Amino acid sequence: MLKDWPIMEQPREKLLSLGSQSLSDAELLAIFIRTGVQGINVVDLSRQLLKTFGSLSGIFNASQEELCQIKGLGNAKYVQLQACLEMVKRCLAEELVRGETLTSSQASKNFLIAQLRHEFREVFAVLLLDSQHQVIHFEKLFYGTLNAAAVYPRIVVEVAIRQHASAVILAHNHPSGVAEASLADKQITQTLSDALLLVDINVLDHMIIAGHQCYSFAEHGLL
């Protein structure tokens, strides 16, 4: 029984004493799930979930049917997980509200990671900025497969003009988990940069999201 564990090994007490960063993925999940099932304490149940779905991201991406097949879980837990994920996205989005100036790339990275890391297929998006690099709008434009998404420069240019953007940050995810720029990524970045430059819109960066990682074209000298 979890209650028989030493106090400092019980997830809630550990969090209160040492902070949430001290907990493992299984311990954080255990606090969320709250109770185990017959013969399995909540931490062991959480470990089983992580093994079944591969990661916290895999659990968040699980369908309602997949999640509800796990003993001890049901529609209520599925709804809570989705609500939790959406709250995280909105919390980070509040840091990039319209009118906020981007003074560093970290806020952009945090926001884009939250928006794209849980996507099971490749998604291409743009973060649109004004001449002072204040946030105007974020939009997911193209959806693809596990490996690629077709990107159409004309649509990117149209969206940027419609939002009166002066600069953009391009972004897409790699569901494979590899945070590196492929040759195709470099080519589409150059194509988009050339197309947007024709209408006086600068590409400040292209960020590739792979799980918790973020690859920045600007930081690697590719823009």
Q: Contact 121/145 with Cβ under 8 angstroms?
A: yes
Whole-number pLDDT of residue 42 = 84
Whole-number pLDDT of residue 211 = 84
CATH code for the domain of 44? 1.10.150
Domain boundary among 90, 123, 150: 90
In a domain, 222, yes or no: no
Question: Nearest CA to 127 among 119, 139, 115, 118?
Answer: 139
71 and 126 part of one domain: no
Beta strand ranges found along 35-177 (DSSP E): 123-129, 135-143, 167-173
127 and 84 part of one domain: no
| Residue segments in the chain with a per-residue pLDDT below the cut of 50 | none
147 and 61 part of one domain: no
Query: In angstroms, rounded to a whole number, what is the distance separating the alpha carbons of residues 70 and 50?
Result: 12
pLDDT tens digit sequence for 103-155: 567 878 888 888 888 888 899 999 999 988 888 889 999 998 766 778 999 99
Residue 210: give the domain boundaries: 98-216
Sheet with 135-143, strands from edge to edge, namely 135-143, 123-129, 167-173, 202-210, 213-216
Whole-number pLDDT of residue 70 = 82
Whole-number pLDDT of residue 2 = 59
Whole-number pLDDT of residue 95 = 62
The total number of structural domains that make up the chain: 2
Q: Is the pTM of this model over 0.85?
A: no
